[in-house]
Amino acid sequence: MNLRIVLYGMLMLMVLNGCSKSGDSPTPTPPTPVAPTPPESSIAFTVDIDPGSANVYAALSSSQTFVVNISSTLPKDGATIDLNVKRERDNATIWTSSISTLAAANTMKIDSLKPGELCVATIVTTSKNTASNNSTKSFKIARK
């Protein structure tokens, strides 16, 4: 009988110990929520001398400046603007230029235009944060 009482007592102690509330443990602090990063605006820009796809811009000298206006919200780290000018007849590159920018208005320059040579200027503007966020525009240019 003594064994039954001892076993019953031990069982009751285990049950009571498992059910007791502890005042010593602090209330858990919930994790601080992380604000989601808003998606980057798609790159959009205009070129101030763009004559349109069916027209040719007539340059008056071997050099021509123009402005690339980024109209979308600029990415937080900025953008890269790449310029590549090729002769239309043989696709030979005659001029390249690249700039890194945090500005909306960006002046660029084409050099090495020769009289009567039709060229195609291609401008690619790319986010520095997201390489897949880019936009391309082309226009034809020829020196008179």
Is residue 108 within 8 A of residue 84, CB to CB? The reply is: no
User: What pLDDT is stored for residue 134 in this prediction?
Assistant: 97
Q: Is the pLDDT of residue 28 over 70?
A: yes
> Residue 94 carries which side chain, given as an amino acid letter?
I
98-143: per-residue pLDDT in tens?
999 999 999 999 999 999 999 999 999 999 999 999 999 999 999 9
Is-above-0.85 flag for pTM?
A: no
Answer whether 120's CB lies under 8 Å from 86's CB: yes
Class of domain 45-143: mainly beta
Asked if residue 45 has pLDDT above 70, the reply is yes
pLDDT at 108: 97
54, with CB counted inside 10 A (0-12, 13-18, 19+), is exposed
